[in-house]
A = this chain, B = another copy of it.
Amino acid sequence: MTREDLTATHTRIAPYIHRTPVLTSRLLNQITGAQVFFKCENFQRMGAFKMRGAVNAVLQLSDAQKAKGVVTHSSGNFAQALALAAQSVGVKAYIVMPQNAPQVKKDAVRGYGGEIIECASTPIAREEVAAQVEQEKGAYFIHPSNDRAVILGQGTAALELLEDHPDLAYLFSPVGGGGLIAGTALAAHFFGQGCKVIGGEPFAADDAYRSLQSGVIESNLSTNTVADGLRTQLGDLNFPIIREHVAKIIRVEETEIIGAMRLVWERMKLVVEPSSAVALAALLREKEAYAGQKVGVILSGGNVDLGQLPF
């Protein structure tokens, strides 16, 4: 994936996404000791960066593919993102979701015109059901994170941030399935001025950290983290990019995630989801190393259940 791929992606998706604002906070600068630029993807359409990759993937389908629709399996933000992206382009979206997914998430997908296909609550079941929809409907399968078009789309958040602030020394991103940090790493590589990309990952779901150590894709031993968007696994498309272009992954405890989230809510008055706070938690954990530097932080999304806050 090249510099030109990223630029073309950004041009392609621009009419369908918000160019989200970059906010700063005197108080957060004091607390971190760095000069921090927050890319507010919580303000993105449907509330998370996932819209970028989803719409990029849908826009690159042929007319024949568009006519048959798209399918993915996700119980999280990508489910809503693909439903809205498909609706925006006039394409049918089949979303495979576990039967026990929260009603509020099912409602959101349906609100964006997505058709939900329920499955049992196991990774294997959802892959099988998605494959079945692919076969029966002829729908085009789009993976939430391990997909070329998705990775490029997610990279446009960092691209915009670096257009606004070209001289960032570091850029922090959460690490879940790896789509966002891989795209971010590509954007920093092609558009940064020596900008180093740092991942934030929960100790409780640290497949990326361990994969970087071992050099092969490791599995999550548990996914018992409040950062529900980061429970997913690295993939074979994004891992090589992460390996080549990500400087470091910092793991954080659950209390650090909740503390960073609370800081953003209380001090910046922004609603962000726990996964969003993981990047800031990583910066806070090792803040001495970044003191006085210009640091970008991607606030990846803001979809939380207000009835189930961790504080």
- Residue ranges of A at the interface with B (Cβ–Cβ < 8 Å): 21, 23, 26, 42-43, 45, 47, 262, 265-266, 268-272, 302, 306-307, 309, 311
Contact = CB atoms under 8 A, between A and B. Distances in A.
Contacts of A265: 271, 306
Given A265-B271, A269-B43, A271-B269, A306 B311 contact: yes
A277 to B, nearest CB: 13
B269 A47 contact: yes
Q: Do most interface residues of chain A lie in helix, strand or loop, or is the interface mixed?
A: helix
A200 to B, nearest CB: 20
Which of A23, A262, A269, A311 has most B Cβ within 10 Å?
A269
A262 B305 CA distance: 11
Contact of A269 (B26, B266, B270, B307): B270
23 contacts: A21-B21, A23-B43, A26-B45, A42-B269, A43-B268, A43-B269, A47-B269, A262-B306, A265-B271, A265-B306, A266-B271, A266-B306, A269-B270, A269-B271, A269-B272, A269-B302, A270-B270, A270-B271, A271-B271, A306-B309, A306-B311, A307-B311, A309-B309
A280 to B, nearest CB: 16
A311 B42 CA distance: 21
A269 to B, nearest CB: 4
A302 B262 CA distance: 13
A274 to B, nearest CB: 14
